[in-house]
Structure 1
Amino acid sequence: MGIRGLSQLIADVAGTAVRHMEIKHLFGRKIAIDASMSIYQFLIAVRQADGGVLTNDSGQVTSHLMGMLYRTARMVENGIKPVYVFDGKPPALKGGELSKRSERRQQAEESLKTATEQGNQADMDKFSRRTVRVTAEHTAECKRLLTLMGIPYIEAPCEAEAQCAVMAAKGLVYATASEDMDSLTCGSTILLRHLTYSEARKVPIAEYSLPRVLELLELTMDEFIDLCILLGCDFCDTIRGVGPKRALEFIRKHRNIETILENLDPKRYTVPENWPYKEVRELFRSPEVTPVADIELKWSSPDEEGIVKFLVTEKGFNEERVRSVIQRLDKARSDSTQSRLDGFFKVLPRAPADKAAANKKKPSAATTTAAKKAKSLKTGAGKR
């Protein structure tokens, strides 16, 4: 879910912190991708004609593998070097949000059952998507496919978004690719939204610059984290009655949550009981991640026969189509030897002018007078 209302708040107050682009403009970039979110998107978006998840003849779900294969290949074809990051254990503070999601999924399953009994196809499709859950099997199969494709992946000790953010902040990758705005709260200097489905849905990629966001919102990073907690996140409730604009107003005036609480009108605003905002703040400031120094990223050639065995023999994919994708991957790797220009050139501060140039001898008074006289004679001749 990310941070409630943050994208709209940035659009309203710090719009120039976001630029929109086509995927080709990311040529040569290393990008960390939230794998679990990608798999979830694939399970929702890659569907059969009747709206159900994509399956093979044996009834095995294949939506996640189809999405991972084709969208990763498209990124590689556009010169991107993707690295997928998988979630580890969820933070203890996320337990409440996970329980809510489970309840919503149960309600969707009951509604799906009713829609099926009534033969309501529109509701069947809608509630079917709401029951989607990424399983350990989906994750394991995607990891296997990525290995065969020669694409690196990382298993985060905790939240994938936090791991991606640290990798971006430390310069191991250019950006985090996720739909959740809390990638910015975790410190990702660049956030890319809509990367994995921009072409399919004809939606431009949105690039958020965290330094620019902070500048335009007139906040420090610590103040921005407190703003995000006020807006609402996966880890705690927020103050009832405080919307996005009021939250920004409070942070700009009081600079932190403690001072806001000291000056809050209890008749107008309700603070959650036992509100763990301090613990959440620390979770955003110092998330549990694998140190960047311990991460090695390596992209390699795809294992053609291994991919064919997995997807065609075991999962029932069309062999001609699979081999076509592998050929595209091979060609993209051979074409990717070209690098971005900013990888070769570094912008340096302007050096002080050479003393000889700085102290360049000015023309003497006699020289200047002679020049003026010559110009005068020339002008007079022209008039005659």
Structure 2
Amino acid sequence: MGISGLLPLLKSIQVNKHLSDFAGQTLAVDAYVWLHRGSYACATELATGKTTTKYVDYAMRHVRLLRHHKIQPYVVFDGGPLPAKKGTESERRQRREENLAKANALAAHGKHNQAREFYTKCVDVTPQMAYQLIKALRAEGIQYVVAPYEADAQMAYLERIGLVDGIITEDSDLLVFGCRKVLFKLDSVSSTITSISREDFGSVTAAEGGVSLLGWTDAQFRTMAILSGCDYLPSIPGVGLKTAWSLLKKYRTVDQLIRALRLEGKKPVPKGYLEAFHLAEMVFLHQRVYCPLDEKFVCLTEIPAQDVLDVETEAYIGRCE
């Protein structure tokens, strides 16, 4: 999930905090992160069709932990499939099917411990599982919202309009969406969590992580992340975060960068890459979300009036119907 290598690159600005530091705040929570984590304890039951609600119990323990520290959770669920992630989701589904076949084969031979390892790799959070958690949230009066498409964009929007003060997730994509305060690695035993603030990006220097983000805008950071490979676009072979950073410093724009790579011929740039890059950027900027204030679907960032989207692009970022 997220941008490969991004969190290690930002290690120097990661701050370990106690949950009590966020008392009085509202934090958006990626529901599917907790549902996935909770499913590990009951992976065999879920994969073999047995009834269990252990994943709900896991999520609700974390909800209550936040409330214990006077934090108001705002739980956000994924909605419908986003066309932009069709390739990524297809690959994940294939891996789950392969792991399920391996698990069933091992279980059939009585190797249940080995089978469980593969069952944990093939569990997928279903809408039915999400609904069971929603019922538990309703029972305890916890705020929640189901995004029209991805929870990431929805949480970014909630922060942008001031309904939440930060975001709890395990997905570094939230930083690429432009979120200002993203919280990772919640430890329920010690009640600690790792915080990354957008305002600290300028403190990331070349001496520490191999790159310097001093003076870099959100747009430059987003471009670097997309070039290195994301859920909406595979990277150019041989281009990770550090290479993307150095290429951007040298060529300034994606168009010039791609032109230079093609002329140089050392890195194979796929046909249509530039068009695909701009589509991926559209998803990070303008994905459809739900506005709880106006009770309607909107874009994460409003599309300029002069930009008329074609049908394909409109579908790619998520339709409003």
Q: Flag whether TM exceeds 0.5 (same fold).
A: yes
- The residue type paired with residue 255 of structure 1 is R
Say yes or no: does 1:210 pair with 2:198. yes
1:137 to 122, 128, 131: 128
Which residue, out of 75, 80, 87, partners 2:71? 80
Task: State which drifts further: 168-177 or 96-105.
Answer: 168-177
> Are the counterparts in 1 of residues 45 and 51 from structure 2 also a CA contact under 8 Å?
no
Residue ranges of structure 1 left out of the alignment (5+ in a row): 296-384
Q: Deviations over 1:311-338 (max 9, x none)?
A: xxxxxxxxxxxxxxxxxxxxxxxxxxxx
Q: What is the match of residue 188 of structure 2?
A: 199
CA distance in 1, matches of 2:239, 2:175: 21
Change (3 A) 1:54 1:229: closer
Task: Write the distance in 2 (CA, Å) between the matches of 1:2 and 1:90.
Answer: 17
User: 1:214 deviation in Å?
Assistant: 5.3
**Quick one: distance in 1 between partners of 2:252 and 2:113?**
48
- When residues 222 and 215 of structure 1 are mapped into structure 2, their CA distance, relative to the original with a 3 A threshold, is farther
Amino acid paired to 1:8 = P
Residues 43-93 of structure 1: CA deviation (Å, up to 9, x unaligned): 12x34xxx74489xx941212221122111111101110010111222211
What TM-score do the two structures reach when normalised by structure 2? Answer: 0.82
Q: How does 1:113-128 map to 2 (within 5 A)?
A: 113-128=104-119
The 2-side partners of 1:279 and 1:54 are apart by: 36
12, 16, 19: which one aligns with 2:15 = 19
**Cα deviations by residue, 1:185-243 (Å, 9 ceiling, x for unpaired):** 11111101123xx124x584111111322564131111111111112111111110112
Q: Which residues of structure 2 form unaligned runs of 5+?
A: 205-212, 296-321
Match of 1:293 in 2: 293
Corresponding position: 1:226 with 2:223: yes
Q: Structure 1 residues 203, 151: CA separation in 2 closer, same or farther (over 3 Å shift)?
A: closer
Q: Verify the 8 A CA contact 1:184 1:191 in the aligned structure 2.
A: yes
1:34 aligned residue: 30
1:90-101 equivalence runs, <5 A: 90-101=81-92
Match 1:260 to one of 231, 247, 257 = 257
Q: SS at 1:20's partner residue?
A: strand
Identify, as 1 or 2, the structure richer in strand: 2
Q: 1:290 to 1:215 in 2, by over 3 A?
A: farther
Question: Pick from 243, 248, 254: which aligns with 1:251?
Answer: 248
The SS at the match of 2:28 is: strand
Judging changes above 3 Å, is the alpha-carbon distance between structure 1 residues 43 and 252 closer, same or farther for their aligned structure 2 residues? same
- What's the C-alpha RMSD, in Å, of the aligned pairs? 2.3
Q: Percent identity?
A: 27
Q: Give the secondary-structure state (helix, strand or coil) at the position aligned to 2:290.
A: coil
Q: How does 1:318-337 map to 2 (within 5 A)?
A: none
Q: In the alignment, does 2:237 pair up with 1:240?
A: yes
1:4 maps to 2:32: no
- 2: CA distance between counterparts of 1:93 and 1:74? 35
Give the match for residue 279 of structure 1.
Answer: 279
Alpha carbons of 1:152 and 1:259: their partners in 2 closer, same or farther (altered >3 Å)?
same
Q: Which has the higher Rg, Structure 1 or Structure 2?
A: 1
Which deviations, in whole Å up to 9, do the C-alpha atoms of 1:317-374 show, x marking residues without a partner? xxxxxxxxxxxxxxxxxxxxxxxxxxxxxxxxxxxxxxxxxxxxxxxxxxxxxxxxxx
Residues 228 and 240, structure 2, Cα contact 8 Å, conserved in 1:
yes
Change (3 A) 1:214 1:224: farther
The alignment of Structure 1 onto Structure 2 pairs a total of residues equal to 283
TM-score normalised according to structure 1 size = 0.69
Deviates more, 1:119-128 or 1:139-148: 119-128
In 2, the alpha carbon distance for the partners of 1:146 and 1:261 equals 48
Residue number in structure 2 paired with 1:269 = 267
2: distance between equivalents of 1:170 and 1:70?
A: 28
